[in-house]
Amino acid sequence: MPPCHRLSPAHEIIRHIRQNADPFAVLRLVQEGDLLLQRNLNNTGSEARALDADAFQQSKYKLRARPWTNVAGDGIVSNLITIVLASFSAPCVHESAFLADFAAQDTSALFCSPLLVNAMCAVGAFSSSHAEALDRLAIDDLKLRERFYQEAQRLLEIERGKPSVTTVQALFLLYLYTGSAAMDRAGRVYRLTACEMYNRMRLGTQLLVRSPVTDPKSHEAQRKILSRIAWGAFCAESVMAYNYLQVSLIKIPSVPRLFGDQTGYATEEGNRPLGLEDALAARCDVLAIFYRIASYEPREPNDVGSEGDIRTRQRLYDALSGWERILPPKSRYASEFAHHFHVLNAYYHFVAVVLWRPLQDIDTTLRDNESNAARLCISHCDALLKEIDESKIDLQGDLLRRGTTAALYFWYMAAFTLVTMIKRHLDSREPLVRVCRSLHSVAKCWPSACVILQGVHGMSQQLRVVLPQEAAELCLEAGKMLDLSASLDIPVSWAIPRHADLMELLSDHGADTEEPAGVELSKLISKWNTLSIEA
């Protein structure tokens, strides 16, 4: 038969049986009558195979998909895992341990599992142009990331709550997926379960090694890996918790940090290029300071804005500034990890904004008699945006064009800090436009970016302030991409700080017992979307 002719249905079914690893799956599809509508991205279509081959060639890590997943082929899986590891979206995953177990193809391994692989691929697909290209080839509307997510859900259900290191890691990633997909309300259970399992396994307090004690080398290697995982999970949860203005459910680990050269990270001396573990060690330090800041609650007589409150915040700011001063210059980093220099500096500005934001509407003079909290917040937001922009110089491919989860998180915090100040502080308008521009640039890849922009619009309406024209236009375009006309229920439960003009949104009865620190973003968006429809 000439190759240009289409296969008959019978030939198509036979080809599926020959190529598919699970002939019973093909039988089920035949019985359901939809075999010819399926796009098995591993095996069918010359375009899909070409995309998979191209993805494999371009990926840093060359991996074999099976036995870990049947959702996509080797090239796509290699591409998605490479993206997650390169972007450091999963600090709780130890790269070399994960990759070693992945290559061994042992599904009972300690540091790799089918659940973890599918969860990582689901997250990586947001940043993958290859995944987007495959989505365009599919006949149905199910995106590749959704296929990986559904497979991870299925595998999680099979585990029935059995605790393991890889399950903790996968749960954090599944939460990250739901947040990126703008449906974190459904995913909060993943984060809460991850923290509960982490604490139940005592990962932050004990390095429980599974290797035989007769093998000292393996024993010490596992201790270092578990130390990285414990501290990486603390870093991940610290950021996730503050989406709800809450303190991390994982306390600062008491296990030793057996990674990163502390002396090399803290000084400019030495010739060893700094790498990923050094960057993680620095991140652990700044997030430990952040934990103290997030835990701080002003109490009488030192209420918010009092002299005692300002003194406490100034001491915390001094600790944060001390950490920033000892960061090594960018030249110390290996080129592959140079973007971490900018990410660490972005963390510095992010934590500073969190510290001073509660005072932004209070007329206070700080210790230097020149700054006040509002000016500090604007200055740090502006610097944070510059760091994220400069970090792109050191990124390549999809991460350069499509953004990262870390960038989204920083933009989210900056956007809702700046929009509350545009009425009183004109110098907040320009950085607000920049952050809206950044969010809009990745809105087609990240549904959460559209939600953030809609939240900025809703906040401006609630505060009765006029957005800069470009920012308003970008928010309007994001609303069209999100298509809120289909439903007034926005499944996003991220919180934004309380403000006098937001009190009516705390709950239906004027008091919100679950989220005392802030207002759900979805309530703000739903209110103004409802009003726009009624108008």
pLDDT at position 296 is 94
pLDDT at position 298 is 87
pLDDT tens for each residue of 295-307 = 998 887 778 888 8
pLDDT tens for each residue of 152-195 = 999 999 999 899 999 999 999 999 999 999 999 999 999 999 99
Q: Residue 378 and residue 342: Cα distance in Å, rounded?
A: 18
Whether residue 367 contacts residue 416, with contact meaning beta carbons closer than 8 Å, is answered with no
Residue 379 has pLDDT above 80, yes or no: yes
Model confidence band, residue 3 (pLDDT cutoffs 50, 70, 90): very low
Closest of 393, 496, 478 to residue 437, by C-alpha: 478
Residue 497 has pLDDT above 60, yes or no: yes
Whether residue 290 contacts residue 311, with contact meaning beta carbons closer than 8 Å, is answered with no
Better-predicted residue by pLDDT, 178 or 532: 178
Dig out the tokens for 300 from the structure. Answer: 């009488």
pLDDT at position 488 is 62
The pLDDT mean for the chain works out to 85
Closest of 38, 67, 42, 69 to residue 53, by C-alpha: 42
pLDDT at position 272 is 80
Instruction: Average the pLDDT over 143-157 and give the result.
Output: 97
Dig out the tokens for 301 from the structure. Answer: 């007589």
Whether residue 208 contacts residue 226, with contact meaning beta carbons closer than 8 Å, is answered with yes
pLDDT at position 529 is 72
pLDDT at position 394 is 87
The reply to whether omega before 23 is within 30° of 0 (cis) is: no
- In the chain, DSSP finds a helix count (H) and a strand count (E) of 22, 2
Whether residue 16 contacts residue 40, with contact meaning beta carbons closer than 8 Å, is answered with yes
**pTM across the whole model:** 0.86
513 exposure class (CB count in 10 Å sphere: 0-12, 13-18, 19+): exposed
Closest of 285, 287, 263 to residue 274, by C-alpha: 263
* Rounded alpha-carbon distances, angstroms, from residue 168 to 2, 90, 200, 229: 52, 11, 11, 10
Instruction: Average the pLDDT over 86-102 and give the result.
Output: 93
Whether residue 123 contacts residue 176, with contact meaning beta carbons closer than 8 Å, is answered with yes
Better-predicted residue by pLDDT, 336 or 515: 336
pLDDT at position 234 is 98
